[in-house]
Structure 1
């Protein structure tokens, strides 16, 4: 299956056209598929099918994912819109090898460039907010990297709407380059961003690259019958996957209803999930994260699926617009105040 170039979409107002599917590479490396050759084969298959945007991060298997991507793009770099991220801890002992400070950004971009075997990154993304760091500190460093040609654009990941606005206003007031995109969770089960984030992105002309369109595997079609298998995900992230928790029991109920709807429509649950995300007008490209070639191939031909208004209405009955079934799936929430001095400042 090859993605038609006519289906490519604009990334916000950058003028760059990206394929409707982004190849996410979190599952390549020690924490997913440790076989480099196999992972490279998956990447090459995605590129051959027409995917032109690849997304990774420094923390994915502590740099190993970036190294795999770098090897896979040898001889093909100019054809790919390459995205990576910074923020997460890259050391167990040095507290400054993480975060959104100028010191770390300037240092870590060099490491990512080396691992990716390239002289520039197309989209360099702030992997998570860091409220204790002045956003101007971050924007200033990223703007310098744009001017130096080491990155072409930068974006945010899982920012709150208020943080999106603050970044845009700070860029305007301080004459900085501004973020051009955002990544946030969005799926049939995680729809809270429809309320405020997506209208905010439209207002400022930012592209949205949603992650976890299959809700961490819940929408992969593997959950049949009355009880899901307790997977490794349940052991690593019990709040999101432990089937004994009431929130996840409700999630399973919704999944089974969505599976029934997909069966009635004659499509797979994967196609229902991806097509739903792609039909929102703010979406530039949806990030898929296959670990194997089989998983990739099950998602490539989603472009041929268009959901009718009747199906979209049925989806809204199962998971109402603007709601999220399990709060643990939100991706980022500001930390609660730790003591009374933070709650009451008078």
Structure 2
């Protein structure tokens, strides 16, 4: 059986020790890839930023079977998406990934210090050089997506065909403006943070965050995750109790909602699954392959989102 909406495996947890990652050994990373391939899935997502550049290096040492690799170039400071700097970062990704060619090249988030036209020009040049297959955006406002498509179209350059955005049962801000924009321009949506960084498992209601995980306040992004999701605790607690009433886990509910009750379609780019163990990844895959949820749970999720959306962060990086 396969999922209704395609699945990708996200390797944000791959990296050497000291890079706020959890999968450090090549052998452990290979186990995860093997599980993903065993179930018939073949799309791997990474980024130059993950593991401070070492996620891509670990991927290069793996047997990916028939899997393809998507990566993202991040502007950590203004000017990083200027043509010369962008080429440098891209060359680093190509070198790090070794034998694996880039399928989709994403702009990880906007570098608004550089005119989009300058960045798009170098992206188009790299595509014409045969360095990657498709182009994507991530964390851009919908009006920026429209501007980029217009610039690319006017110049006859490669246009974005994928967009990665944050999306879950309790984080749906993309639905109102971004998704209609993507549909208009034929851009496929890829959902990340689909479990709200793990908050939608419900485990953080009772347990301390695992060291090195998203909600570990000692990591670079820990406090940001707490700010983004901690206000959901009462809603998550109620949803967890309802899920258990139906003999379901809350994480299972979150993944099945994405597959059958969200705005996603089989034609979209897919759902990124994150996991730091083979057992966890296999469970996430199996959960994603299950059918629709009971109506009582779907209704409860709708009501929960109505309560949550007032405190939801916006989908783009301002």
Instruction: Tell me the TM-score normalised to structure 2 length.
Output: 0.87
Correspondences of 1:1-346 after superposition (within 5 Å): 3-4=1-2, 7=3, 20-30=6-16, 31-32=20-21, 33-73=23-63, 76=65, 79-89=66-76, 99-118=80-99, 120-224=101-205, 229=208, 232=211, 233-235=215-217, 236=219, 237-241=222-226, 249-279=230-260, 280-282=263-265, 283-301=268-286, 302-320=288-306, 323=309, 325-327=311-313, 330=314, 332-334=316-318
Measured after TM superposition, the shift of residue 86 of structure 1 is 0.7
CA distance in 1, matches of 2:298, 2:119: 39
Is the contact between residue 191 and residue 321 of structure 1 (CA under 8 Å) also seen in structure 2? no
Measured after TM superposition, the shift of residue 248 of structure 1 is 5.1
Aligned residue pairs total: 303
Give ranges in structure 2 of 5+ residues lacking alignment: none
Measured after TM superposition, the shift of residue 223 of structure 1 is 3.2
Is the contact between residue 192 and residue 322 of structure 1 (CA under 8 Å) also seen in structure 2? no
**What does the per-residue CA deviation read over 1:263-297, in whole Å, with 9 as the maximum and x for residues that have no partner?**
23332211211122233235431111111112212
CA distance in 2, matches of 1:321, 1:131: 33
Instruction: Tell me the TM-score normalised to structure 1 length.
Output: 0.80
Between stretches 29-38 and 182-191, larger displacement belongs to: 29-38
CA distance in 2, matches of 1:248, 1:43: 29
